């Protein structure tokens, strides 16, 4: 059953925005949890998040900046994470690791295309004909499919820290990053261990030199984990990424105005992927952000927020 509830002053990971509307959209048998930060009469922008990330990972500074510039941020939990419908298979970390390095296709319970249809389901549920689409990391991959297959639903496309290529040992993350990604624990009861793993991962892929080992980060991450439960969807989403075909031809079909943003020191998705995407999408412009890793922190956002708002206002 579709329903909505209004929450005020709810403190969750990285989000302190005072009010939002929250509920579920339905994509066949899949329930997709979303938040609509409003205001209802502003221009909608759908934010599509990355691998294993709940909707609460979108930072407050981005949500507020969009609202202050007359945009209506809408976020959602991708399938298999947070409060959205979860799946039950248990991919072998070791087997997927071996397949990844041997270029053997990895079977997944769902596809990037399925996840793009979840975004459309959110827009349909909120009766939004078209919206700006902003996707980050895996969310950028999902958004590529959404924009290409549903061009009339996209006012514009912003892709941050993403790629059209299927990651492999030659074009994928650095070896240490891949190891840490595949170490993600699926244990629901080992919260402190999962926090430790998150800190190690964030310090590997975030802004170089930035420490996440702080009491505030640990408290925020604890609330984040308690909201989302076990981490099993992380490996299933990773299987969907690695098991997908590259989307280079798909990107050539995109005519939607596109802004590509990428950090020059991104260790997870190398910056050459941004240059490749710019060549593939004829309607695109590229911004390379100096000193930005894979995480969206406020210091990095400050370097491109004017360009982002100007682009959206076009």
Identify the pLDDT of residue 276.
Answer: 96
State the DSSP string of 10-28. Answer: --BTTB--SEEEEEEEEET
Check residue 75 and report its DSSP letter: E
CA distance 106 to 100: 8
| Domain 4-313, CATH class in plain words | alpha beta
| Radius of gyration of the chain, Cα coordinates, nearest whole angstrom | 18
Is the distance from CB of 261 to CB of 289 less than 8 angstroms?
yes
Band (pLDDT 50/70/90 cuts) for residue 7 is very low
CA distance 264 to 272: 9
Three-state secondary structure call for residue 125: helix
Q: Provide the residue ranges of all domains of the chain, joining segments of one domain with +.
A: 4-313
Check residue 57 and report its DSSP letter: G
Identify the pLDDT of residue 4.
Answer: 37
User: Residue 174 pLDDT more than 70?
Assistant: no
pLDDT tens for each residue of 233-284: 888 898 898 888 889 999 999 999 999 999 999 999 999 999 999 999 999 9
- Give the number of other CB atoms < 10 A from CB of residue 33: 22
User: Residue 14 pLDDT more than 80?
Assistant: no
Is the distance from CB of 138 to CB of 172 less than 8 angstroms?
no
pLDDT tens for each residue of 188-232: 567 888 888 888 888 888 888 888 888 988 988 888 888 987 777
């Amino acid at each position: 059953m579709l329903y909505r509830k209004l929450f005020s002053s709810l403190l969750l990971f990285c989000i302190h925005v005072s009010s939002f509307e929250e509920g579920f959209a339905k994509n066949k048998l899949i329930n997709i949890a979303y938040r609509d930060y409003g205001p209802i009469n502003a221009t909608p922008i759908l934010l599509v998040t990355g691998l294993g990330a709940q909707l609460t990972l979108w930072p407050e500074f981005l949500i507020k900046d969009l609202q202050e510039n007359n945009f209506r941020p809408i976020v959602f939990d991708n399938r298999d994470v947070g409060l959205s419908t979860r799946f039950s298979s248990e991919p072998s970390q070791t087997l997927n690791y071996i397949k990844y390095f041997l270029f053997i296709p990895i079977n997944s319970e769902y596809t990037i295309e399925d996840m793009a249809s979840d975004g459309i389901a959110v827009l349909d549920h909120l009766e939004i004909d078209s919206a700006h689409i902003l996707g980050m990391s895996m969310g950028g991959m999902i958004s590529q499919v959404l924009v290409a297959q549903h061009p009339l639903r996209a006012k514009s496309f912003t892709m941050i820290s993403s790629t059209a290529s299927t990651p492999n040992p030659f074009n994928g993350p650095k070896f240490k990053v891949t190891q840490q990604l595949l170490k993600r624990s699926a244990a629901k009861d080992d919260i402190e261990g999962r926090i430790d793993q998150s800190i190690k991962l964030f310090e590997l892929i975030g802004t170089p030199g930035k420490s996440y080992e702080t009491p505030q980060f640990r408290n925020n991450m604890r609330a984040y984990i308690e909201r989302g439960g076990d981490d099993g969807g992380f490996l299933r989403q990773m299987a969907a990424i690695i098991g997908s075909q590259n989307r280079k031809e798909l990107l050539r079909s995109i005519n939607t105005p596109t802004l590509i943003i990428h950090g020059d020191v991104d260790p997870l998705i190398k910056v050459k992927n941004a240059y490749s995407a710019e060549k593939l999408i004829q309607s695109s412009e590229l911004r390379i952000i100096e000193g930005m890793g894979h995480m969206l922190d406020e210091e990095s956002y400050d370097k491109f927020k004017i360009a982002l708002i100007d682009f959206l206002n076009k």
